[in-house]
A and B are shown apart, each in its own frame.
Chain A
């Protein structure tokens, strides 16, 4: 590789525990994050921001949340869509009831709401494991979506049954609502994602993350060495749901603009689960890579025949898209069951020794 860790000696505990111990890594990541903030708003057009980058950052946040629960704490959940719906509807209620509240505070409170619901539906995880738990979390998914559909209070008695993001400003700039421009919404979503990714990275390196992984790897052994399953599992559900709730609020406020419960159905849960699995269970980077993969693949598949000069009927194209999507998932699972994050790691190891084989 172009650079190695040679010659960089760690002289303090702080240096030893840094997220990126190598100077070049630190510089590259800082540059990358800066570029992500600055370049797309300047360069990308409306279509790229609205159709690719904004959903990507939001889905990445949801995938991050699910990865904390499924990848780190080992609790398989299919209720992501439901928890995201809680965040979205809570944000809508809060934003319309308290118009003076800063939109970021609204997102945070909506996340807290989702966390509480997450704890509630996480309680069965103390007795139920594996697939039984996965199906049990489906109860959360269906019940929550039904609830938001049936109780008109959640949509402020709107006859259309949709929630619409009210226009709100932050530092004098329109952030949500129809007048908010795509670059602004992108920067806000990215800021939230960067902050939450940093928090997640530190969470999983610390005491909490380690107790999650102990529970995941063998819960009875973890219990015996003094990890409290009740606290650990419920915290995993709470924090994961917090992330998902914020992502759900963003989905409506920064991406869709207005939504009904249909936007949060079971398909969304599966989509986020795909991101986590394809990206890599138990990896922060994997959540981001997985989200990018799942968002970009359908766009690629939709546009590929057009660029190849093939004119396919719409229905046929849709079916081919489904087939290729399914086949790609199976292909990736066979090639690398531990996801894109593992591929990245292998690539890095290879490059580190390059041009030598060993």
Chain B
């Protein structure tokens, strides 16, 4: 009985007794959530346009970061290195469309999913072969230090990541709503065949969307790399982005952001206040269980398209 009481009451008492600490946890959660959103965005873009669940997004983040750091280490100026990395990711998008996606058009979704897992292995080996498997430091010139706002600690790096994510999402929203190619992307996402019949080139669209996902991967790679170093474990954040995806809905850009925030904040609060009661390290599965519980009530996620089923 006392244990139940400890689980139900004590954490709330903690929250009430030190609101400042709670605010810090909350901010930490928001920052972590935005980082997840950055990765989840890449998934959403590709899923929306081509219906492919791209498991290799995590490795694309790693690959982008590895390329950037590797180029900088070879003495190339940062701006040039960044441009080259963008070029590499676009080339990668071309190659993926030509070699992997085109022969697999019209296959079942699970086949395409498996192909991206194969891609995942390939890119992992390739990236490490070219750039080495050591942990690399990525210095973006933002110190990983904190300052106080109204008595609450805020981390500079996390703040930058948050701002970057916001800018990126705004840019993507403008791209989707205002540009010609963005509209074409939405048309393809809506209905492949209808889009084809009014003359939208499907292959170009796929290349574009994989390129955009590559660019998002670069941004995510820079942010995650600056936070925790560029290393193999970066590719595992893909697994962290999955619950974000199902919470927000596979097809929604705002959903990816909202899902990331909910998962980030929920995870941090659960870990800090409830984690010690069950032995800690619940961050690994809490997000999944949260998403699972959520799905039971809303199978299409927060902002996903309503699932309509007909015989």
Q: Which of B80-88, B118-126, B192-200 contacts A (4 or more CB under 8 A)?
A: B118-126
* A-B pairs under 8 A by CB, number: 137
Q: Is B79 an interface residue (CB 8 A)?
A: no
- Identify which of A76, A138, A221, A323 contacts B311 (C-beta below 8 A): A221
**Contact status of A326 and B311, CB under 8 A, knowing A132-B299, A146-B281:** no
Q: Which of A99-107, A187-195, A313-321 contacts B (4 or more CB under 8 A)?
A: A313-321
Q: Is the interface of A mostly helix, strand, loop or mixed?
A: helix
Nearest to A277 among chain B residues (CB) is B114
Q: In whole Å, how far is B227's beta carbon from the nearest beta carbon of chain A?
A: 22
Complex contact B246–A333 (CB within 8 A)? no
Complex contact B110–A277 (CB within 8 A)? yes
Complex contact A323–B121 (CB within 8 A)? yes
State in angstroms the CA–CA spacing of A128 and B243 once bound together. 14
Complex contact B295–A323 (CB within 8 A)? no
Complex contact A281–B292 (CB within 8 A)? no
Interface size of B by CB at 8 A reads 51
Q: Is A218 an interface residue (CB 8 A)?
A: yes
State in angstroms the CA–CA spacing of A224 and B311 once bound together. 9
**Contact status of A334 and B289, CB under 8 A, knowing A131-B109, A326-B118:** no
Q: Report the 6 A-B pairs with minimum CB-CB distance, sorted nearest first.
A: A326-B121, A322-B125, A326-B122, A329-B118, A139-B288, A323-B125
Q: When each residue 259-302 of chain A gets 1 if its CB lies under 8 Å from chain B and 0 otherwise, what string results?
A: 00000001000100110010001000000000000000000000
**Contact status of A330 and B118, CB under 8 A, knowing A129-B299, A132-B301, A322-B124:** yes
Q: In whole Å, how far is A234's beta carbon from the nearest beta carbon of chain B?
A: 15
Complex contact B122–A322 (CB within 8 A)? yes
The residues of A that contact B100 with a CB separation of less than 8 Å are 330, 334
Complex contact A326–B111 (CB within 8 A)? no
Q: Is B160 an interface residue (CB 8 A)?
A: no
The 5 sampled A-B contact pairs (Cβ below 8 Å) are: A143-B288, A150-B281, A318-B125, A329-B115, A333-B115
Q: Is A136 an interface residue (CB 8 A)?
A: yes
Q: When each residue 93-112 of chain B gets 1 if its CB lies under 8 Å from chain A and 0 otherwise, what string results?
A: 00000011001100111110
Complex contact B299–A322 (CB within 8 A)? no
The residues of A that contact B296 with a CB separation of less than 8 Å are 124, 127-128
State in angstroms the CA–CA spacing of A174 and B196 once bound together. 66
State in angstroms the CA–CA spacing of A49 and B128 once bound together. 33
